[in-house]
A and B are shown apart, each in its own frame.
Chain A
Amino acid sequence: MSTILVNTLTGTSTAGSIVVTGEGNSTTTNLQQGLAKAWAFTAADGASISDSFNISSLGDTAAGQQTLNFNNDFGSANYSVVASQGTGNQHDVVMSTKAAGTQLIKIYDPDAGAFQDSLINAVAHGDLA
């Protein structure tokens, strides 16, 4: 076994593209493409971030409507965000309007018939600018 100690990995042909071999040794995948570009764990009051990566701030747009503001933006609005809520039973989590630098997430309580603040776990994949 050999170990390389290094602080930065950069592609030779394309700086932002490194291919790694998959676990089964028969396929490859792009390292940069597979890395999460942002994630967030927000507080149940919808007003603060408990921990995050590449998130500059949380916009408390309205009750149950939180906007993730990315520190480093994506290259376009074509990226993938999945999220779950951790507060209410049968609450709906919906990805709403997005831009290269922002993603609005809405949490809806069908019993109350209204949006409701909640703990949110979210992770974003795609190409950074």
Chain B
Amino acid sequence: MSTLKADTIQSTGGGAATLTKQSAAKAFYSLNGTGTIAFRKSLNCSSASDLGTGDYKVFYSNAMSDADYSAVGNFGTTDSDWNNALGSDLVMGGNIAGSYTAFYATTGIGFANFGDEDSGTAADVEICNGVINGDLA
């Protein structure tokens, strides 16, 4: 067995080293989207904005190289009656604010719950999870 100990790994040219058949997520978040929104846990996320009911933006600490990256997300709740998550209509890259605008940018991602099962209208969500894969700037 061999072990390489290093704090930083770069290519010989000072750029990104290639990890054979491996790729790491460049950002992820678990956001509490109720009340005063806050990250439970995150990587490469500097802040989140509460744009209104069920409407959010997450901003990256280090930007992506372009907007052609993968963003996947889910809503969740620990609420036994499922309010605000069951049947929620999650749109990654879309916001309600500004009359349904797109925000799928190098600097961050917008997402919204466009409707829940109970009311059919936007609603705040207890658990907002997302993972970003792609190239950093």
Contacts and interface: CB of A to CB of B under 8 A. Distances in A.
Contacts, number: 163
21 contacts: A4-B4, A6-B2, A7-B3, A10-B6, A14-B7, A17-B7, A18-B7, A20-B16, A20-B17, A21-B17, A22-B16, A22-B26, A28-B8, A29-B136, A78-B41, A79-B41, A80-B30, A82-B72, A92-B88, A94-B75, A126-B41
Given A20-B16, A22-B136, A28-B62, A83 B9 contact: no
Interface residues of B, number: 52
Interface in A51-97: 78-84, 92-97
B5 to A, nearest CB: 5
A12 to B, nearest CB: 5
Interface of A: 1-2, 4-14, 17-31, 33-36, 78-84, 92-98, 108, 110, 123, 125-127
A23 B131 contact: no
Interface string B25-64: 1101110000000001111100000000000000000110
A20 B25 CA distance: 12
B93 interface: no
A17 B8 CA distance: 9
Nearest to B129: A80
B8 A18 contact: yes
Nearest to B30: A80
- Say whether chain B's binding surface is mostly helix, strand, loop, or mixed: loop
A8 B4 contact: yes
A8 B2 contact: yes
Nearest to A17: B7
Contacts of B16: 20-23, 25
B12 A1 contact: yes
Nearest to A11: B7
